[in-house]
Amino acid sequence: MLRHVVLFKFKDGTSPEKIKEVEEAFASLPGKIKEIKKFEWGTNVSIENRSEGFTHCFVVSFANEEDRKIYLDHPDHKAFGNVLGGSLDKVLVVDYWNVH
């Protein structure tokens, strides 16, 4: 599986309602984009104080690079970008092959 790890840090002052909207919009993508083979997410509960302000972690899994490409270009993925609407302070993305 090709894991797509996405971290979000919202801008200070982002309302809980907006954050919930973003969470729900992201979590709706697996129902819309069949190339998503697995999806999970959660909010940071680390006790190590090394999260660099990131509060949300989403992990989207694909079978291959082609499916990742379809996801990235998908209209529903782009519509999700519009939901974000400038609410993010930082985004970090790391993908890796779970082959080890």
Most distant pair of Cα atoms in the chain: their distance: 40
Q: How far is the CB of 47 from a copy of itself (least distance, A)?
A: 8
Number of residues that this document lists for the chain: 100
Measured at the CA of 22, the angle between CA 17 and CA 28, to 5 degrees, comes to 125
Nearer of residues 46 and 82 to a copy of itself, judged by Cβ: 46
Among 10, 33, 36, 54, binds a copy of itself (CB under 8 A): 54
Nearer of residues 3 and 18 to a copy of itself, judged by Cβ: 3
Distance in angstroms (rounded) separating the CA atoms of residues 60 and 41? 9
Name which of 69, 8, 67 is nearest 38 in CA terms: 67
Nearer of residues 7 and 36 to a copy of itself, judged by Cβ: 7
Among 19, 25, 57, 88, binds a copy of itself (CB under 8 A): 57
Distance in angstroms (rounded) separating the CA atoms of residues 45 and 31? 27
Q: Identify residues 60-99 at the interface with a copy of itself (CB under 8 A).
A: 68, 72, 91-99
- Give the side-chain half-sphere CA count within 13 A for 6: 15
Residues that bind a copy of itself (CB under 8 A): 2-5, 7, 27, 40-48, 50-52, 54, 57, 59, 68, 72, 91-100
